Chains A and B, each alone.
Chain A
């Protein structure tokens, strides 16, 4: 028998090529796109319904409308009351999730394969025939208002909210999907029904069914459920975020949300950066891996492993239809907040100046993205969500199969160029949720200008 050689780490064998499973596409007579993928490891199916309208489609005076519309879908539809809907879902062991993001509303249902027809029937009922009853709406709105109230005590939620406001101001990305208290109080059932008519049309939607069935069986089931879906006569779809102009840059670079005696400070540092369809997408991903996108990135190693300031720090480009933010986030010990901000800013500056991406970092970043790539496509739900990216962002059919070679084709210069082009230290906005009394003096030494104090209503 071979003995373990402890003098060196074992060599890896050759990488196995990865191929995304085949997506079969068809379009129903009502314009609905139906995509299917066979995935037969476990007796489950996942069905996603993608509506390309999210919080960015909220009318300016109704932030939160898209989200509460999504939330109302399962509160009664067709012949079923709200309780009937949930009883029916429970009886097939289905898991229903509604995600309303900035660009899209996604309804997702996972259930045992033998219940596919029943699950689709319920989903179609929710989408085509929601009741939007006043009584249910009052209750759902109260729950959302209470949630909003509780989010005031959650530092990450506060930080996200203020960060979006500062970066985007009046731009449609300037509010979180949940909206604000004032707007939730102003929204009526008629607003919701009108939003549903405008945004939820079959010709802009995509159904993606992945799971333990043949393409034909999955598609036939979707056809049976969704063929009756007809577009509303007065449907004028909301504008595409891609057509929005850029947001107005904020006046201050530092904002503080006072949280007396906070045990930690919650940080967000970033600026508006890239849209999903940027040609630099792959380079930005590698750049992010080096800077703050994985455990061994520069920022986490510095702030967590060297300094012990935090349980973890990370960065991300949030890619959307229109340019989304580049953001660094961390929760740090109160007494070292200013030091943590200084270190974080220094890391961001350094990667495009005196410490550009090295060969070793490049290889590590590319490897982490490419060698681990197949892990992202293990479950039916993962595959369906991946396919939804193609639909939402209009990516090419071979996108997943070209990902690995495109990342591997990048060199240090391409990645450093992406840093120079897409991260601008002079535009970074810093948001801190923490104790003003303990922070104001050390922060003044950071030379970020006057801190604007933000009260959260």
Chain B
């Protein structure tokens, strides 16, 4: 399934990608900046995301909150930051397209004159609240931090989560904003996708009119970092948390986003844990009933990915039992690989999910977001068919080989999350970790 598009790069370096879809009288405006928490440094973590919040607080020519005029025009809007990129989007009725372009371009070109200490302090409080609500006050909410900090060395930018450390957020300073903005927030480091009820040539003319006047700058250098070695052993960690049931997280390094092997690990995740007939669900939850839930995911990212398996022990069952069962299933898979029928099933699921994502023009994961993802990471907005082809050409043997090489039991991080005061429930020889 292909998504027709027109791409045009403005003189200042801004990529503009347009896709027409006249189904509903709405247009999606979607901007990606190729910056995320991987561009932060130790001691200043969480900054890219805090910065994203500031982008909604006003710019030089509209120095008020961005939500009011856009919601008044009938828009929905949001933004998000991850390790690799930051995105901003609006879905507007067709007649408010210019409004959204005006506002996106004003904050791309003219954010700094509108920044104040008061805005900065307020949004830092909001982010600290977000951190408490979604990480500190949520069961198992700190496990992700423990995993990445064990998987990556302290100077690797995936060593911390995008939300950052609370102390770093408190230490962040308004002065840091200026440098960050000038380095990363300019047309040369951004991609604008427009999808929906518009005419492509008109859309490009409008993009030129609103964004063409903003000065470009060189694209920032790619983050250079040595591929993390290890883990060279079965690294066992334990974290106490306010939870009822102990849970196991295990993680391995895996191929980077779009790299050779990335699609195989995506399919491995489905083969192992998507649906009741997947290997791990069937064995652990359905047949042996030693776990209440199991999940697997390939967390694909630019500098390198990690593959994760998570399982929660059923009451009265131990993490050691759960661990043994998972390793047994992975070993069996690594020896014989999947069946033809299993591969057919996960390919059908992969194709369906691929198309499910293309039902909307905007929002997280809709067509405009996907066009920008392909354009930002591959410089090719038309990658849809080839993306799907990555999955269709996967072989049974490649899946087996990747599991055998990539999911070795002696090259993983395994974290036990146990109820407070119940360290004995962790896997044997686990070392306590401190995250907050």
Tell me the A residues contacting B by CB distance below 8 Å: 1-4, 6-7, 9-10, 12-16, 18, 41-44, 82-83, 86-87, 89-95, 110-112, 139, 142-143, 146-147, 149-150, 152-155, 262-264, 294-296, 301, 304-306, 308-311, 331-333, 363-364, 367-368, 370-375, 377-381
Q: Which of B1, B242, B352, B359 contacts A153 (CB 8 A)?
A: B242
Which of B103, B129, B244 is packed against the most chain A CB atoms within 10 Å?
B129
Q: Indicate if the CB atoms of B132 and A371 lie closer than 8 Å.
A: no
Interface band, chain B: 35 or more
**CB proximity of B60 to chain A, nearest CB, Å:** 8
The smallest beta-carbon distance between A297 and chain B, in angstroms, is 10
> Residue-by-residue, is B193-211 near A (CB-CB < 8 Å gives 1, otherwise 0)?
0000000000001001110
| Count of chain A to chain B residue pairs whose CB atoms are closer than 8 Å in the complex | 208
By a CB distance below 8 angstroms, the chain B residues around A18 are: 25
Given A4-B102, A143-B292, A147-B292, are A378 and B24 neighbors across the interface (CB < 8 Å)? Answer: yes
* Chain B proximity of A96: nearest CB distance (Å): 10
A18 CA / B25 CA spacing, docked (Å) = 8
Cα A367 to Cα B102 in complex, Å, equals 19
Q: Are A153 and B73 in contact (CB under 8 A)?
A: no
CA distance A1 to B204 in the complex (A): 12
Interface hub of A89, A154, A375 (most chain B Cβ within 10 A): A375
Residues of B within 8 A of A (CB): 1, 21, 23-26, 60-62, 65, 67-69, 71-76, 91, 93-96, 98-99, 102-103, 105-106, 110, 121-122, 125-126, 129-130, 132-134, 136-139, 205, 208-210, 213, 242-245, 274-277, 282, 285-286, 289, 292, 312, 314-315, 344-346, 348-353, 355-356, 358-361
Cβ–Cβ contact B205 & A1, under 8 A: yes
Q: Establish whether residues B72 and A153, one from each chain, have CB atoms under 8 Å apart when the complex forms.
A: no
- With contacts A1-B209, A83-B277 known, what are 7 further pairs, Cβ within 8 A? A16-B95, A90-B345, A91-B344, A146-B292, A153-B139, A296-B65, A311-B129
A147 and B314 alpha carbons, distance in the complex (Å):
10
Whether the Cβ atoms of A264 and B356 lie closer than 8 Å is: no
Most buried by B among A150, A310, A379: A150
Find A154's partner among B26, B74, B138 (CB 8 Å cutoff): B138
From A3, A10, A111, A308, contact of B129 by CB (8 A): A308
Complex CA–CA separation, A144 to B30 (angstroms)? 40
- Known: A13-B95, A150-B245, A379-B359. Contact between A6 and B61, CB under 8 A? yes
Residues of A within 8 A of B67 (CB): 294-296
* In the complex, residue of chain B having the shortest beta-carbon distance to the beta carbon of A304: B126
**Main SS of the interface on chain B?**
helix
Q: For A380, list chain B residues within 8 Å (CB).
A: 359
The verdict on A12 contacting B73 (CB below 8 Å), with A93-B351, A150-B243 known, is yes
Smallest Cβ-Cβ distance to B110: which chain A residue: A6
Offer 16 A-B interface pairs, CB within 8 angstroms, sorted by A.
Answer: A3-B213, A16-B94, A41-B23, A90-B275, A90-B349, A91-B344, A93-B350, A149-B315, A150-B243, A263-B136, A308-B129, A331-B132, A331-B133, A374-B24, A374-B25, A379-B359
- Please determine whether A95 and B352 come into contact, CB atoms closer than 8 angstroms: yes
Highest count of chain A CB atoms <10 Å: which of B71, B103, B106, B346? B71
Name the residue on A nearest B71 (C-beta). Answer: A368
**Shortest CB distance B92–A (Å):** 8
**Given A83-B277, A364-B72, A372-B75, A16-B122 contact (CB < 8 Å):** no
Query: In the complex, what distance in Å separates the CA atom of A382 from the CA atom of B136?
Result: 34
Docked-complex contact A95 and B356, CB < 8 angstroms: yes
Separation of A154 and B348 alpha carbons in the complex (Å): 35
B215 to chain A, nearest CB (A): 14
Which residues on B sit within 8 Å (CB–CB) of A147? 292
Contact A150:B139 (CB < 8 A) given known A1-B209, A15-B93, A374-B26: yes
On whether the beta carbons of A90 and B348 are closer than 8 Å, the reply is yes
Nearest to A366 among chain B residues (CB) is B72
Partner of A305, one of B110, B122, B136, B282: B122
Closest chain A residue, CB of each to CB of B25: A16
Closest 6 CB pairs of A and B: A371-B74, A93-B352, A308-B125, A372-B74, A13-B95, A86-B276
Closest B residue to A43 by beta carbon equals B355
Can you name the residue of chain B whose Cβ is closest to the Cβ of A149? B244
Question: B71: which A residues are within 8 A, CB to CB?
Answer: 294-296, 364, 367-368, 372
Known contacts A7-B61, A153-B139, A333-B132, A142 near B72 by CB under 8 Å: no
How far, in whole Å, are A311 and B26 apart by their CA atoms in the complex? Answer: 29
Contacts A7-B61, A87-B345, A90-B277; is A1 near B208 (CB within 8 Å)?
yes
| A35 CB to nearest chain B CB (Å) | 20
Given A44-B355, A308-B126, does the pair A263, B26 have CB atoms closer than 8 Å? no
From A86, A89, A94, A154, give the contact of B139 (CB < 8 A): A154
- Measured in the bound complex, the distance between the Cα atoms of B360 and A90 in whole Å is 23
Which of B23, B95, B282, B359 is close to A15, meaning CB atoms less than 8 Å apart?
Answer: B95
**Chain B: minimal CB distance from A30 (Å):** 30
A6, B63: Cα distance in complex, Å:
12
- Chain B residues positioned under 8 Å from A296 (CB to CB): 65, 67-68, 71
Residue of B nearest to A372 (CB): B74
Alpha-carbon separation in the docked complex, A350 to B21 (Å): 44
Among A16, A93, A294, A375, contact of B349 (Cβ-Cβ < 8 Å): A93
Question: Do the beta carbons of A367 and B132 come within 8 Å of each other?
Answer: no
Q: What B residues does A10 contact at CB under 8 A?
A: 98-99, 102
User: B134 contacts which chain A residues (CB < 8 A)?
Assistant: 311
Nearest chain B residue, comparing its CB with the CB of A2: B209
CB distance from B360 to the nearest CB of A (A): 5
Known contacts A264-B129, A305-B65; decide if A12 and B99 are in contact (CB<8 Å).
yes
B328 → chain A closest CB, angstroms:
19
Which A residues touch B99, using CB under 8 A?
Answer: 9-10, 12
Closest to A152 in B: B244
Which residues of the partner chain B approach A143 to less than 8 Å between Cβ atoms? Answer: 285, 292
Q: Evaluate whether A363 and B314 lie within 8 angstroms (CB atoms) in the complex, with A4-B210, A305-B65 already known.
A: no
Task: Determine if A374 and B93 form an interchain contact, defined as CB atoms under 8 angstroms apart.
Answer: yes
Whether B213 lies near A9 (C-beta < 8 A) is no
Closest Cβ of chain A: how far from B128's Cβ, in Å? 8
- CB contacts (< 8 Å) of B26 on chain A: these are 374-375, 378
Set of chain A residues within 8 Å of B65, measured between Cβ atoms: 296, 301, 305
Q: Decide: A111 near B352, CB < 8 A? Known: A1-B209, A264-B129, A367-B73.
A: yes
Question: Given A93-B348, A378-B360, are A87 and B277 neighbors across the interface (CB < 8 Å)?
Answer: yes
Q: Smallest CB-CB separation from A93: which chain B residue?
A: B352
